[in-house]
Each structure stands twice: as structure tokens, then as C-alpha cells.
Amino acid sequence: MAIRPILTAPDPRLKAVSTAVETVDAAVRKLIDDMVDSMYEADGIGLAAVQIGEPKRIIVMDLDQKDGKKNPRHFINPVITWRSEEIATFEEGCLSVPEIWEDVERSARIKAEYLDRDGKKHEIEADGLLATCLQHEMDHLEGVLFIDHLSKLKRSMALRKLQKAKRLKDAG
């Protein structure tokens, strides 16, 4: 496994729309393993392949990681098949938008279909943090960052804060 660098906004590669995985093979499984390692190294709970420069429709997630356990989940070619009209608000952050946390409204519950790392099809019903995280990571597959859900003012403030942090890091 390899730890890969995670792209940060405003890198234009984060705006790429990811392509479907045609075959779940050894190369896809290696990419998944690299993504899981990269996510753990960055202390994240979710990562889309596009965030490490691979615009493929793959997501990894581990919501148990926050409790010190490891239970990685893999979602290949995920598709939301149903969304509740009920809205939930969670404070979101993103490995590609470091140090920025903002409230984002999303569907409270979803149903989705996806392939696992063996190419088997699954369906999932999700609510709470799992529903929020799936929607957040699936946005990445469409080239959308969580800050794109914010008002124009909040988004520009977040991007300015990011650029300032980057300048300080590069200078230091």
C-alpha cells in the first residue's frame, strides 16, 4: 500500500467528473488500499479517488475510525437511488479543504447502490453521519466540494482562508 498526497482546493483536478469503473480488478483493489491508507494517514473518515488525482467513481470510508477502530468500507460506482425530503444539517470538513468546517444541509436519509471491492452489487439505506458522508463523498465524484453548498460569501471566505494557510505553509 502507498500513502498518496491529497489534493487541496483550489486544485482544478478536484473539479473533474469521475468516470465509472468498468472492471473491479487488482489495480482497482490496489487503488482502494492506497485510498484507505491515505485516508487514515490524514485522519479522515472518507475519501474519493479524485482527491488523490484518480478521477474514478470510488469512495472509501471508515466512520469507526474516530473511535480508534478500523472498519473501512468501499463503494465503487455508487448511485443514490432515493433521497428523503427531510433535511439534516451537519458540520462538515474535508481533507481537500483543510481547516474549514461549515454546516451543510443534505437529505437526512438516502438509499444507494454500489459495488464492493469484489465487484458484488449492494444496496444500502443510510441516515445520520453515514448518509451525510456518502453524499459528501459522492459529490466529489461530480467535481463538487462541500464549500460549493455554502453561500457565495462563506465560500469565498473559506477559499481565502485556504489560500492564506497555503502561503504561510509555503513560506515556512
d(CA 158, CA 76): 30
Of the candidates 150, 154, 110, 159, which has an alpha carbon nearest to the alpha carbon of residue 133? 110
Q: Which of 92, 102, 137, 142 is catalytic?
A: 137
Which uninterrupted H or E stretch holds 57?
none
d(CA 51, CA 95): 8
State yes or no: is 123 an active-site residue: no
d(CA 95, CA 52): 10
Phi, psi dihedral angles at 62 (to 5 degrees): -150, 95
Q: Active-site residue numbers?
A: 137
